[in-house]
Structure 1
Amino acid sequence: MTGPRALSTEGSPRGRKRGSHSLEAVLSAAVALLDEAGAPALTFRALAARLGTGVGTIYWYVSNKEELLDRATDHAIGGVLALVEAQPESDDPIADLRAMAITLFDAIVDRPWLSAYFMRNTDVQGNSLRLYEKLGQQTLRLDLTPRQRFHAVSAVTGVVVGTAADLGVEAPQEVLDGHVDRDAYLGRFVEQWRSLDGAEFPFVQQIADEFAGHDDRDQFLAALELTLSGLRLQAGTR
C-alpha cells in the first residue's frame, strides 16, 4: 500500500488528445469486463471494443494496465463506500465495524478480482482510502493506542479480504462442469480424513463432519467475530 500523496480520480496524462468517452464510462466498462472474466480479460483492445472507440482513447485516461486496474477497483469500491456511509451509526463502534466489514466482504465475494487490488495504490484509489478511513474511525471511539488501532483495522481487513479472496478461487473443473457438486467434492476429503490414524490426526478427525457441507459465509462470520472479540477485550468494552 503506498502513501496517500494524492486522491485524484480524474487526472490524465498531459499532451494527449481528450477521449470521446468520460472516465466514468471507461471505468464502468472496465469493471464489466473484470466481472465477466477477471483481470486477464481486461485489455486495452477489449476495453476499446466494448466502448466502440480506439485504443488511443483509453490512453488519454490511464497510462498502463496497472493504473487501469487500480482505477477500476476504486470505481467499484465507490459503491461499497456509499453503502458503508449510508449505514446508521450505533452506540457500539465494534458492531458498526462488523457491519462495515461484512459489506466489504460481500462486495469482494461478488467480485473476487477486487481482493488483488484493494488499497494497492492510494495515489489513485481515493475511495479505497476513504473506506479504510471509515473502518479506522470506529477504532477512534475505543480506548486504544495508535498502534493498537492500526493493528485492529489491519486484522479486520485481513480477515475480510483474505477470506473473500479464498472463496473467490475458481472451483475445480469437475465442479464447474457439473460432474460433481460441491458437497460431493468436499465429501472425498472428509472420507479421507475419517480414515486417518486418530492418534496422529485427532483434530482433523474431530472436525471432519464440520468441514463436510460447511457454509463459507458462516466460516467468515466466525473468523470476523473472533477478531472483533479480541478487539473488544483489548479495548475493555462489553
Structure 2
Amino acid sequence: MANKSELLVAATDAVVAAALAIEPAKSPESLSQDRIRAVALGLFDAIDQHPWVAAQLTASSYQSTTPRIFESIGRQVCALGVPEDSRFTAASVLVEYILGAAGQNAANARVLWPDIDRVEVLDAVSRAWEELDPDDYPFTRAVADQLREHDDREQFLGGIDLVLTGIAALHLPSG
C-alpha cells in the first residue's frame, strides 16, 4: 500500500466483501427479501465490529466498495420485481437506511460511549426523556421505556422490514 488512505480502502473493501458474502437461510418464496436482510445484517454487524467502516464508506462513496453494496441490494430489488423506473429509489433508500442506521449505532455504541455500559446509557437517556415536558414531548415520553429495553439489531431489522413492506406495497403486484 502506498499510504494510509489506500490501506483504509483495502481494509474497508475486505470487511464489506465478507459481509456481502453472507447467505440467507433459504426461503424460496421470499429469497430476495431474505438476501436483502442477510446483506443488511451482515453490514450492520461488520460496522458494529469495525465502526471506522461507516466513516470510510461515507468518505469514499465513489470508490468500488460502496457501489458493490449498491449493486448487491440493487440486484435483489430487481429480483423482487420492482419496476425499472422505481429501482434506483428503492435500492437507494435501502442502502441509505442500512449504512446510516448501522453507522449511527456503531457511533453511539463504540465511538461516543466506548467505556460506558450500553444499559447505563439507555437507562440515563430514558430517564431524561421521562422528565421532558409532557406538553412538548408526549411521544418521546411515551416511548422512553421502549428505548430502555430495545435491541439494536432487532430495531434495525424492523426498519428493513418497514422499507421492504413499503416497496412491496408501492411497487409490487398484489398477490
> Does TM, normalized by the shorter one, top 0.5?
yes
- 1:31-62 superposed Cα distances (whole Å, 9 cap, x missing partner): xxxxxxxxxxxxxxxxxxxxxxxxxxx43xxx
1:210 aligned residue: 146
The structural deviation recorded for 1:230 is: 0.6
Length-normalised TM-score, structure 1: 0.61
- Stretch deviating more after TM superposition (208-217 or 86-95): 86-95
Map 1:67-146 onto structure 2 (within 5 A). 67-84=6-23, 90-92=28-30, 93-118=32-57, 120=60, 123=63, 125=64, 129-146=67-84
Check whether the contact 1:186–1:212 (CA below 8 A) recurs between aligned residues. yes
Q: 3-state SS of the aligned residue for 1:212?
A: helix
Contact 1:122–1:129 under 8 Å retained in 2 = yes
Query: What residue identity is the alignment partner of 1:73?
Result: T
Letter in 2 for 1:172: W
Provide the aligned length of Structure 1 versus Structure 2: 169
Distance 1:91 1:188, change over 3 A: closer
Quick check: which has more Rg, 1 or 2?
1
Given residue 207 of structure 1, which amino acid in structure 2 is its aligned partner?
Answer: V
Contact 1:94 1:232 in 2 (8 A): no
Matched-pair contact (CA < 8 Å) for 1:74–1:118: no
| Superposed structure 1 runs of 4+ greater than 3 Å apart | 86-89, 127-131
Q: Deviations over 1:157-215 (max 9, x none)?
A: 11111111112122436xx1x6xx33233222322222222222111111111111321
Q: Over residues 97-129 of structure 1, what are the superposed CA-to-partner deviations in whole Å (9 max), with x where a residue is unaligned?
A: 222222222222121111122382555x3x654
Partner of 1:159: 97
* Percent of matched pairs sharing the same residue: 31
Partner of 1:199, secondary structure, is coil
- Higher RCO (C-alpha under 8 Å, 6+ residues apart): 2
CA contact (8 A) 2:70 2:92 kept: no
TM-score (norm 2): 0.80
| Distance change (3 Å), C-alpha of 1:205 and 1:73 | same
What is the CA-CA distance between 1:152 and the residue it aligns to? 1.1
* Conservation of the 8 A alpha-carbon contact between 1:142 and 1:235: no
Whole-Å Cα distance in 2 between the matches of residues 76 and 192 of structure 1?
A: 37
Determine if contact 1:70/1:117 at 8 Å carries over to the other structure: yes
**Structure 1 unaligned residues grouped into runs of 5+:** 1-57
